[in-house]
Amino acid sequence: MRIVGHQAERREIDRLVTSAADGRGGAVVVAGEAGIGKTTLVGTALGALNGFTLLRAVGTEFEQDLLYAVLHQLCAPLLEYRLKLPIVQQTALEAVFGLGAQTSPDPLMVGASVLGLLREAAAQQPVCCVVDDAQWIDDASRRALVFVARRVAAERIAVVFASREAGCVPGIADLPRLALTGLGDEDARVLMGTAGRTRLDAEVFDRILAEARGNPLALLEFTQHVGPFGEPGPRPSRISVVEALEEQFVRRYRQLPGSTQSLVVLAAAEPVGDIGLLGRAAKQLGLDIGGLALAEGADLLTMGPRLRFRHPLVRSAVYASASPETRRSVHGALAGVTDPDVDSDRRAWHRAHAIVDADEGVAAELARSADRARLRGGFAAAAAFMERAGQLTPDPGDQVGRLLAAARLRLQAGAPAKARALVTQAEQHPMDEQRRVAARLLRARIDYQLVHSPKATATLIDVVSQSAPEQASETYLEAFASFMYNENEPGRLHDLGARIRARLPRDGLVRPVDLLLNALLDQVMLPVDEAVAAMRAAAATCRSADDAAEPWRMNLLCQLAIDLRDDELMEEIADRQVDVARREGILATLPQALRYQSIVRVSTGRFDDAAACLEESRAVDEVAGTVPLVGPQLVLAAFRGDLDRHRELVRLMGHGNRPVEIAGQHYATAVLNNGLGNYDAALDAALAAQRRHQDGLYSIWAVYSELVEAAARSGRGEESAVAMNHLEASARADPVPWAVAEWLQARALLGQEDDCETLYRQAIDHFGRTRISVLHARARLAYGEWLRRENRRADARVELRAAFEMLSRMGANGFAERAARELRAAGEQPLPHDTGSLNQLSVQERLIAGKVASGATNKEVAKMLFLSPRTVDAHLRSVYRKLGITSRRQLREMFP
C-alpha cells in the first residue's frame, strides 16, 4: 500500500508503535473528513509491523446501538487470556462476551478488565489496537477503549483511533490527535498520476484538482471516473467533497445490474462482512453471491475472507440510496440466516428493520434484547432496542409501557433530552392512571436531571408522592441529599424538607432508607437536641442492615456519624464503604468512598494515609473522566496548615463542572486560620457557616467548636453564644466522649467558669477515649496555652511539648508551629521534629509502599490503582532506594 503525503503523521505513528515496543505505550487519534486518508495512513504505517499482535475493529452506523459490538471485534482473539486475570475482571469480561452468569458489570471494571486482557497479551509480544470509524463506536465499547487508551503509558500497548469527528466523541476528543488535511498541489498531482489517467486534458486535470480540495479519495475517484468527454462532470460548488464522493459512488452503484445492486445493499446491511452469511442470505433472496464480482470490478468493494467496502462512504451511500423496500428485504433475509442462539440481538435488530407494520413478535424479541443489554450494563443499547420495540408494538397499552421503559433507559444512559422526547411520544397515546403517574414522574425526573433547579426538585417531590411509598422514599432521599451539601439560597432546603416531611409518615419507619431520610430532615429542620434521636436511630439501623452496603447511601451515613461525633461508627462506615466498592467492583462510587475515608484519616491524625486515599481517588476519577469534589482536599490542607494549597483548591471550586462546596469551605477555612493563628479570619468563616445553618441550610456541625476557639482567641467571645448552645445540646442529647469533650473544651476556652483547669483536663481525658487524635493534640495545645497565660510555665511546657510532638508527627504543621511559638514563650526551644524517612516519598510512592506493606502484591496494587505491574515495580525500586532498605519485611516495619 502506497501513501502520498502525510509523511509527518506517518512518522508520528511509527514513533508511537516503536515506543510501545519498548514498554512506553500510548494512544493517538487520526482525525479528518471522509476520504482524507486516515485508513490508508494507518494501514500503511501498521501493515508492515513485525513482532506485534495487531487487533482491528471498525465502527459502523448500523451497529452503534449494539452493546460492546466493537469490543467483540477487537478482543475476541484474546479471550483465552482472561483466565489469567483476577476473578472480578474475568467475570466482568465473561459478562460482556456472554460467557458467564454475571450481569451488570461496572463500566470501569469492564475497562480495567480489557486493559488486563491486553496486558496479558502484551506479555507475549507488543499489542497494537486499531479502531477505524471511531465516530460510530457503540457507547459501551467507547468507554472501555478510552479507559484503556489513558492507561497504557507504561505498557507494550499502542491504541490508534481513526475518526471523522473526533472532537465530538466523548473521551476520544481528549487524546493526542493527528489532524489530517488535504494534500498540497504537488502531492495531489503525484497521487493523480498513480490513477493511470496520464492523458487527461490540462484543464480537466486542474478542475479535478480544484474540486477535490486535496482529498485523496476524491482525487482518485474524480480522476478514474471522468465523464465521457474527459470531464469530471458538473458538481455544484455548494456541495461538499464528501457529498460529491457519495454521488460518485451511487452513480457507479446504479450502473450495476439490478440483482447486483440488491447484493451490494445486502452487503451494506451486514457490517461484519461474513461471506458465508451473505451467501445464505442471498440464496433466500433468490440471488447468487457470485454477482458481487461485478461490484468488485466497479471498485466498490473487495471480496476475500471478509467482504470489505472500498471506503465506509461506499457502504453508507449505497445503503442510503437504496429503496426502503430493498432495505427491508435484505434485512429480512439477514434475520432469517442469523443464528438466534449465537447472535440473538443482531437477529432482532435485522428483524426490526425488515418490517413496517407493528408486530408483537418482533417487538417482544427486541424487548428481550433490551433486557439483556440492561443486565450487562448497556443502557444506551437497551434504550435503542426498547425504543424500536415500542414503535413496533401493536397494543396501545403495551406500546406506552415500552416507550416509557425506553425513556427510563435513555435517562439512565445520560440522554435526558431523548428521554423527554420518548415521554412526549408516549403521552400522545391513551394511558391508564398508573401509566399517567409514571409518565409524570419520569418527566419530573428528566427535568430534575436537566436543570437540577429548586423548581424542578419541588415538582419531582410533588409528583413522586403519587407513586409507591418505597419508590418515593428513595427519590426523596436522592433529591434532598443532592441539595443538602450544595444549596446556597436561604430557605430553599428548608422548604424542600417541608414538602417531603408533609408526605413522609413520622411513625412506623423501619427501612434504612426511610430512617436515613427522616434523620437528614430532622438534622436540617429541627434544633439539635430534637434531631439527635432520629439521627441515632438511623445510624443504628443502617449500621447493621445489608441495605447500608449501597456506597452512595453509606456516604450519607458516614457524614451522619461525623456530625453525631461517633468516632467508632465514622471509621467503621468509612472503611466499609471502600471495602464494598473494591470487593464488588463498583468503581464509579469508589472515589467518593475514598474521600470520606480521607476525612476520617485526618480526624485520626493519619494525614499521610489521608493523602494516599485522595491520590487513589484522583487516579480513579482520572480514568473515569469524572470531576472530583475538592472538599476533602480542603480539609486536609487546612489541618496541614497549607495556605497555598487551600487557596488553589478554593479557586478550583465552581470552575468547570465542579460544584461550589460552601459547607466544606467554611469549615476548612476556619480550621486553617485557627491553626495559623488568624483568629478573626477563622471566626468570620465559622460565623458564615453559622448564618447558613440559621438560614435553614446545612452546615458541618464540627464548625461550632472552631467558632468558639476563634471567638475566644480573638476577644469576641460574645459571638459564640449560638455555637455554645449547639455544643451543649449535642453533648446532653447524646453524651458520647467526642461531643462531651468539645463542649468541655469550649467552656474552658471562653474562661467564664471558676475551674477552667478542670474543664481542660476533662476535655483532654474525653478526647483520649476517642480515636480523634488530632483534636486530642489540639486540646493539649489549648491547655498548655492557658497554663502559660496563668504563668505556670513548667506545667505549660509539659503540655505544649506533648502537643508539639503529636501535631508535628501527624503533619499538622500550622498547629504544630502554634505550639512551637507557645513553647518558646514558655522558655523552651522545641526540638526539630524527626519527620522520618517516609516523608522523602512522593504521595504516589507512599500510596504504593503502604499497600505493599499491608501485604498486597505488586499485581494487586497495579489492579487497585489502574497501573501496570511494571510501573509499580519502578515506584517500589525508588522507595527502596530512598529508604535504604532491600525487602518487604523492612518496608512493613516502617509503616504503622
Domain boundaries, the chain: 7-179, 258-447, 452-545, 550-628, 631-721, 734-832, 837-894
Determine the average pLDDT of the residues in 53-62: 85
The pLDDT of residue 228:
42
Q: How sure is the predictor about 853, in pLDDT bands with cuts at 50, 70 and 90?
A: confident
Q: How sure is the predictor about 522, in pLDDT bands with cuts at 50, 70 and 90?
A: very high
Of 433, 437, 444, 389, the closest CA to residue 411 belongs to: 444
Kind plus residue range of the DSSP H or E element containing 82? none
Kind plus residue range of the DSSP H or E element containing 56? strand 53-58
Lowest-confidence pick of 227-231, 319-323, 587-591, 874-878: 227-231
Kind plus residue range of the DSSP H or E element containing 598? helix 590-603
Cα separation values, 58 from 45, 70, 380, 465, 751, Å? 17, 7, 19, 48, 75
Q: How sure is the predictor about 561, in pLDDT bands with cuts at 50, 70 and 90?
A: very high
Q: Under CATH, what is the fold of the domain 837-894? A: Arc Repressor Mutant, subunit A (1.10.10)
Q: How sure is the predictor about 815, in pLDDT bands with cuts at 50, 70 and 90?
A: very high
Determine the average pLDDT of the residues in 315-331: 92
Query: Is-contact 73 63, C-beta < 8 A?
Result: no
Residue that wins the pLDDT comparison between 123 and 46: 123
Are the folds of 7-179 and 837-894 the same?
A: no
The pLDDT of residue 466:
64
Query: Is-contact 539 561, C-beta < 8 A?
Result: yes
The rounded mean pLDDT for the chain is 84
Of 201, 643, 345, 553, the closest CA to residue 209 belongs to: 201
Q: How sure is the predictor about 85, in pLDDT bands with cuts at 50, 70 and 90?
A: confident
Of 17, 68, 13, 80, the closest CA to residue 42 belongs to: 13
How many whole angstroms separate alpha carbon 392 and alpha carbon 394? Answer: 6
Of 70, 88, 107, the closest CA to residue 624 belongs to: 107
Lowest-confidence pick of 44-48, 240-244, 464-468, 890-894: 464-468
The pLDDT of residue 103:
63
The pLDDT of residue 236:
45
pLDDT tops 60 at residue 238:
no
The pLDDT of residue 609:
87
The pLDDT of residue 785:
96
Residue that wins the pLDDT comparison between 870 and 26: 26
Query: Is-contact 534 515, C-beta < 8 A?
Result: yes
User: Whole-prediction pTM value?
Assistant: 0.65
Q: How sure is the predictor about 257, in pLDDT bands with cuts at 50, 70 and 90?
A: very high
The pLDDT of residue 211:
65
The pLDDT of residue 230:
41
Determine the average pLDDT of the residues in 373-386: 79
How many whole angstroms separate alpha carbon 659 and alpha carbon 666? Answer: 15
How many whole angstroms separate alpha carbon 166 and alpha carbon 635? Answer: 39
Give residue for cell 474521600.
595
Determine the average pLDDT of the residues in 169-194: 75
pLDDT tens digits, 183-212: 776 776 666 666 655 555 565 566 666 666
Determine the average pLDDT of the residues in 710-739: 95
The pLDDT of residue 896:
60
Q: Does domain 258-447 have CATH number 1.25.40?
A: yes
pLDDT tops 70 at residue 354:
yes
Determine the average pLDDT of the residues in 365-372: 88
Cα separation values, 164 from 29, 44, 172, 173, Å? 10, 18, 12, 11
Query: Is-contact 435 400, C-beta < 8 A?
Result: yes
Determine the average pLDDT of the residues in 167-181: 79
CA atoms within 13 A on the CB side of 226: 24
pLDDT > 70 in the chain, percent = 85
Q: How sure is the predictor about 840, in pLDDT bands with cuts at 50, 70 and 90?
A: confident
How many whole angstroms separate alpha carbon 169 and alpha carbon 145? Answer: 12
CA atoms within 13 A on the CB side of 419: 26
How many whole angstroms separate alpha carbon 835 and alpha carbon 850? Answer: 17
Cβ atoms < 10 Å from Cβ of 87: 7
Lowest-confidence pick of 289-303, 344-358, 847-861: 847-861
Q: Supply the DSSP string of 718-780, one letter for each residue.
A: GGGHHHHHHHHHHHHHS--HHHHHHHHHHHHHHT-SS-HHHHHHHHHHHHHTSS-HHHHHHHH
The pLDDT of residue 299:
87
Tell me the residue ranges of DSSP E strands in 91-179: 127-132, 157-163, 177-179
Q: Under CATH, what is the fold of the domain 7-179? A: Rossmann fold (3.40.50)
pLDDT > 90 in the chain, percent = 38
Q: Which of 354-363, 500-509, 574-583 has the highest mean pLDDT?
A: 354-363
Q: How sure is the predictor about 834, in pLDDT bands with cuts at 50, 70 and 90?
A: low
pLDDT tens digits, 574-611: 988 888 777 665 666 788 889 999 999 999 999 988 98
Q: How sure is the predictor about 563, in pLDDT bands with cuts at 50, 70 and 90?
A: very high
The pLDDT of residue 705:
96
pLDDT tops 70 at residue 166:
no
Kind plus residue range of the DSSP H or E element containing 274? none
Q: Under CATH, what is the fold of the domain 550-628? A: 1.25.40
Q: How sure is the predictor about 143, in pLDDT bands with cuts at 50, 70 and 90?
A: confident
The pLDDT of residue 550:
58
The pLDDT of residue 570:
93
CA atoms within 13 A on the CB side of 79: 16
The pLDDT of residue 547:
47
pLDDT tops 80 at residue 667:
yes
pLDDT tens digits, 418-444: 888 999 999 998 888 878 878 888 888
